[in-house]
A and B are shown apart, each in its own frame.
Chain A
Amino acid sequence: MNDKNKIIAGLVIFFLVLLFPFWFNLIFGAADASTAPEPKLTDKAKEAETCVAETDHMRTEHMQILDQWRDIVVRDGKRVYVAENGKEYEASLSNTCMDCHSNKEEFCDSCHNYTSVDPYCWDCHTYPEETK
């Protein structure tokens, strides 16, 4: 019962090491890691105001929409997407999405890199700067 100081010191060191990622990020990584990047819109995208769905929905569900698009276009041959507001779009990543969002690096990649997502769309599909 005389090791009280040693035990407390040991506990403090243990928790410091355990919580390393948290305090390290708080002190050193705050600038780039804790603030999520804001995807930049092109002028064309700003002008259009709405995407194929509302912005919040697009932000969280765009991958599901793209997944649906590819299945329905490829397998059912239905190439026209009728949005909730009744507007019609060609269901195509390269021809519709990238037409407005032609800034892949600032729009797609900024968030994908931040969240460490690596979609393999671009293995086959083209984006504007690439084909120029």
Chain B
Amino acid sequence: MENSRRRFLKTAGVSILGVGAGSMLIGLAPGSTKAAGPGTKAGPSYTHGPEAMKGGRWGMVIDTRKLKDSTCRKMEKACHSIHNVPDHIGKFDKKNHEIKWIWATEFKHAFPGQEVEFLSEKLEHAPVPVLCNHCDNPPCVRACPTKATFKRESDGIVLMDFHRCIGCRFCMAACPYGARSFNFRDPRPAIENENPDFPTRMKGVVEKCNFCAERLAVGKMPACVEVSGGALIFGDLNDPESDVRKLLADEYAIRRKPNLGTFPSVFYIV
């Protein structure tokens, strides 16, 4: 009796060891098809396009001295038509549902902390184009519970992933610049000419300027920069040789609400 139990345990132990070692050997064997996935070759991969512009931290300098009302209007139109931004005011006269990526405002609204007591007449009424500042320390990203809005580590652009947005609007409350708009209604009926190369949005998501990430990916400048006639300069803030950095080295530029510590990437020469 004693002897046979001992023998049973021995055989059982050896068999378990054998099965374990065997399956391990199969897993380690070269040419194992399990790890390679469905295809026979290396499998698909993803890259950047050949013309894609590369930058460490995209930024913009806006020279308000060179800007006229008409140029601002042109910039708004170019941006909004390319990105299928709905025009709820023009179509349905619904001011509450307005959606904007870039728009012109006055100095006192753009820079409320400046406390300039005797502002020149010219500056007081000059249009100041405002848009998402693509902050280096974006409060909207911290507020987003689903990581639908995020700062792209490769180039510093603060982007929206509309697939993930659940429409909670925390980011709108967090953004100190009011750069974000919410789709309270289906945007499609309010789009004049749909651009087939760019998706529209749906009801219930937040949207904002994306620094034309889709244009940078094919080597084009942002739409507003293209039509600004030289008033908007775009480039890599991390590159001391870039146009924006050269301009910032020569001129005194301010940013919106710098005391909040968001480190905007959009600079203004006033």
Q: Which A positions have Cβ atoms within 8 angstroms of B?
A: 52-54, 57, 61, 70, 72, 74-85, 88, 90-91, 94-95, 120, 123-126, 131
Contact = CB atoms under 8 A, between A and B. Distances in A.
B20 interface: no
A86 to B, nearest CB: 9
Interface residues of B, number: 30
Main secondary structure of the interface of B (DSSP, over half): loop
Nearest to A70: B163
B90 interface: no
B30 interface: no
A76 to B, nearest CB: 7
A90 B214 CA distance: 12
B167 to A, nearest CB: 13
Interface in B161-205: 161-163, 194, 196-197, 199-202
A57 B40 CA distance: 12
Interface in B46-84: 46-49, 52
B217 A85 contact: no
B45 interface: yes
16 contacts: A61-B38, A72-B46, A74-B161, A75-B150, A76-B154, A78-B46, A79-B217, A80-B47, A83-B44, A84-B42, A84-B43, A90-B49, A95-B197, A125-B199, A126-B196, A131-B194
Interface string B25-45: 000000000000011111111
A74 B159 contact: yes
